[in-house]
Amino acid sequence: MAKGPKSWTFRTFVAAIRTFTPVTMVREDHSTRRHLPYGRKGLMTEPQKRPLPVRTRRHADGIPMNDLFRSENVTPTDIATEPLTTSLTATVSASALATAPGPTLTTPTTVTTTPGRPTTRSGPSPTPAPSFTSTRIATPETHLRRPPPGDPDLVERPGPALPGWVAVLTGLTALAGAASALWRARPLHHVELLPWQWAALAGCAVVAVVSFGGLTRGRTGSAWVLSLFGRYRGSVRRTGLVWISPFVLRRRMDVRLRHWRSEPISVVDAEGSALRVVVLVVWSVRDTARALFSVDDHLGYLREQVEAATARVLSQLPADAFRGDAPTLRNAEAVGDALTRMLAAECRPVGIAVFSAQPTRIEYAPEVAAAMRRRQIAALDAKHRDSVLTGVIDAVDDTVTRLTTRGLVELDDFERQALVKDLTVAFYTRSGGPADPNQE
C-alpha cells in the first residue's frame, strides 16, 4: 500500500464510504505533511489533526426578479449572470442583497460534490421574497403640468429711438441746406448745377425725408415693437414726439392694465356635477417681444388658458359639502389664489402678467340645478336639526345634573331615563322640532 499523502486521501475516502457520510472532496494540500519519528510521511495522529481546508469561490447565482414580483422591465445588465464553475466546493454570498435592493436574489449556499452521488447544497433555507406592487405615489410635481418653455433669447429690450426735436431740427437743417444750394445755383436763370451740387441737394432731400418720415407720437400705456425683416429689433415705450427709423416695421401694443370678463365656462367639480363659472381676469402685457412673437394671438391664448385653468382648478373640489365641513369651491379666496397661480405660470412664457383671476359666479348647470337645489335644502335642514338637537341634549344634561347634585330629587336609573326622555321631548318640541325625536 502506498505511503504518504496519497495513502491518507485513500483512507479518508474509504472511511467516508463506509459511514455513508458525504465528505467534501478537496485538492491535496501538501502543507499537511508531517515528519514522524519512524520516517513515515503523510500519517497524522489525533493531536495533529486539524480541520480540512476548503477552497471557496464567491459568485452570484442570478435569479431574475422582474418576472416574479415586478412589472418594470429589467435589462440583462442588471442581473448577475456569472455561471457556476466546476469546482468541487462553491459558496454563494448575498451581502449585496442586504446593502442595496436589486433584481437578483442570492443566498449563502455550499455546494458539496461526492463521487458517485448527486450534488447536494447545504445552507439556510431561502426566505420567501416579498411581493412588490408597482404603486406610484401622487405628488404635486406629477399633477402640475410643466408650463410651455419660452425662448430665452426673445426678451424685451430698448429699441433705437431719438427725441422728436432732434429729428425736427435735423430735417429743418437739411431743408435749409437744400434751399441754400438752389439759391446759389439759381436754376431759374438757366444756370447748370455742378455734380457736387446735385449730390448735396439729393443728400439734403434724403435727410429731410428720413427725419420727418420717422417722426411718431408715443402714447402713455402703449409701446412700439420694432422688427426688421422679421427679426426683433427692440421696443420703444417713450411718450411724446419720438423719432424711429422709417426702415423698420412698427407695431403698436397696449401695455396698460386690463381686465377681461369671461363668458360662462362649462366645467365639472370633483363629484362630477356640471357647473357654470364666470371668471374675471386682471392682466397686462409685461414683455412686448414675447407677446408679439411667441404666439400668434396673445389675447386668444389668454382666453384659452383661462378656460383650461378654470376646468383644472374647479375639478379638484366639490361645489358643496353636504356632509361635514370639507373644503369646497365656495371658498372664493382659496379658489382664486389657486387659479391665479396656475394661470400666471401658463402665461408667463408669452410675456403676459396675470395679477388676479377670480371666479365671480359659480352655479350649477341648468340640467342639474333643480336636483342640487333640493340637496342643498335637505342638507341645510339636516344641519339645522342637528344643531337644535345638540342644544336640547346639552340643556337636558344640565337640568338633570343640577337636580341631582342639589338633592332636589332622588332618581334611580329607570326614573332618570324617563325624566331625560320627557325633558328632551319638551325642549325639542318648543325649539321647533317634531314632537317625537325618534323621527330623525
Q: What is the pLDDT of residues 306-315, one digit of tens each?
A: 999 999 999 9
Give strand pairing partners of 440: none
Please report, rounded to a whole number, the percentage of residues in the chain having pLDDT higher than 70: 60
Name the least confident of 25-34, 75-84, 287-296: 75-84
Taking only the tens place, the pLDDT of each residue in 188-213 is 555 566 777 778 888 888 898 999 98
Structural domain that includes position 411: 370-439
Q: 357 and 384: one domain?
A: no
Question: What is the rounded CA–CA span in Å between residue 331 and residue 317?
Answer: 10
**Among 336, 364, 392, residue at a domain's last position:** 364
197 within 8 A of 178, measured Cβ to Cβ:
no
Q: Please, which residues bridge with residue 282 across strands?
A: 259, 356
- Residue that is last in its domain, among 201, 222, 254: 254
Quote the Cα angle for 396-398-401, to 5°.
105
Q: What are 172-182's pLDDT values in tens digits?
A: 988 888 887 77
- Indicate the range of 63-72, 228-237, 379-388 predicted with least confidence: 63-72
Using a cut of 0.75, tell me whether the model's pTM lies above it.
no
Please indicate, yes or no, whether residues 273 and 294 belong to a single structural domain of this protein: yes
**Which spans in 24-163 are helix H?**
95-99, 140-143
State residue 419's pLDDT score: 83
Pair 404, 357 in one domain = no
Beta strands (DSSP E) in 229-316 are 231-236, 240-243, 249-254, 258-261, 265-268, 274-285
Instruction: Tell me whether residue 385 is in a domain.
Output: yes
215 and 181 fall within a common domain:
yes
The last residue of one of the domains, among 364, 381, 402, is: 364
Would you say residue 396 has pLDDT above 80?
Answer: yes
Mean pLDDT, residues 111-125: 48
Confidence grade of residue 155 (pLDDT, cut at 50, 70, 90): confident
Contacts of 28 (CB under 8 A, 6+ apart): 5, 6, 9
Whose CA is closest to 88, among 31, 15, 28, 33?
28
- CATH code at position 317: 3.30.479.30
Residues 275, 351: one domain?
Answer: yes
Span 321-347, mean pLDDT?
A: 85
Q: Does residue 345 form part of some domain?
A: yes
Task: Please indicate, yes or no, whether residues 358 and 268 belong to a single structural domain of this protein.
Answer: yes
pLDDT at 330: 84
Statement: residue 356 has pLDDT above 50: yes
Asked if residue 285 is part of any domain, the answer here is yes
Q: For residue 261, give the H/E element and its range.
A: strand 258-261
Q: Let me know if residue 127 belongs to a domain.
A: no
Residue 134 falls within a domain, yes or no? Answer: no
Which of the given ranges, 111-125, 142-156, 247-261, 320-334, has the highest pLDDT on average? Answer: 247-261
- Residue 142: pLDDT band with limits 50, 70, 90: very low
Q: Are residues 306 and 388 in the same domain?
A: no
CA distance 11 to 3: 11
The answer to whether the beta carbons of residues 105 and 97 sit under 8 Å apart is yes
| Cell digits of residue 178 | 437744400
pLDDT the model gives residue 11: 67
pLDDT one-digit tens code per residue, 250-295:
999 999 999 999 999 999 888 888 899 999 999 999 999 999 998 8
Q: Which one, of 394, 389, 398, 397, lies nearest residue 432 by Cα?
A: 389
Whole-number pLDDT of residue 391:
83
Whether 263 is covered by a domain: the verdict is: yes
* DSSP, res 41: B
Higher pLDDT, 3 or 341: 341
Residues found in the chain: 440
With a cut of 80, say whether residue 380 has pLDDT above it.
no
Proportion of the chain in helix, strand, coil states, percent, rounded to 5: 40, 15, 40
**Cα dihedral 70, 73, 78, 82 sign:** positive
State percent of the chain over pLDDT 90: 24
Residue 102 identity (one-letter amino acid): G
For every residue of 297-356, DSSP letters joined together read -HHHHHHHHHHHHHHHHHTTS-S--SSS----TT-HHHHHHHHHHHHHHHHGGGTEEEEE
235 has pLDDT over 80: yes
pLDDT tens string 39-66: 444 444 444 445 555 554 554 444 444 4
User: Per-residue pLDDT averaged across 359-379, rounded?
Assistant: 81
Average pLDDT of the segment spanning 389-405: 83
Contact, 264 vs 277, CB < 8 A?
Answer: yes
**Residues 294, 219 share a domain:** no
Judgement on whether residues 229 and 212 belong to the same structural domain of the protein: yes
| Residue 16 predicted with pLDDT over 70 | no
Do 273 and 210 lie in a common domain? no
Residue 79 has pLDDT above 50, yes or no: no
Mean pLDDT score of the chain, rounded to an integer? 72
Burial of 174: CB neighbours in 10 Å, binned 0-12, 13-18, 19+: buried
- Are 388 and 342 part of one and the same domain? no
Give the count of domains, the chain: 4
Highest mean pLDDT among 23-27, 121-125, 217-221, 305-309: 305-309
Q: Is residue 420 part of a domain?
A: yes
DSSP 438: G
Does residue 276 share a domain with residue 238?
Answer: no
- Indicate whether 133 belongs to any domain: no
Tracing cell 325642549 back to the chain, one arrives at 427
CA distance 389 to 437: 9
Contact assessment for residue 262 and residue 197, using Cβ atoms and an 8 Å cutoff = no
Question: Which residue intervals of 247-287 are DSSP H helices?
Answer: none
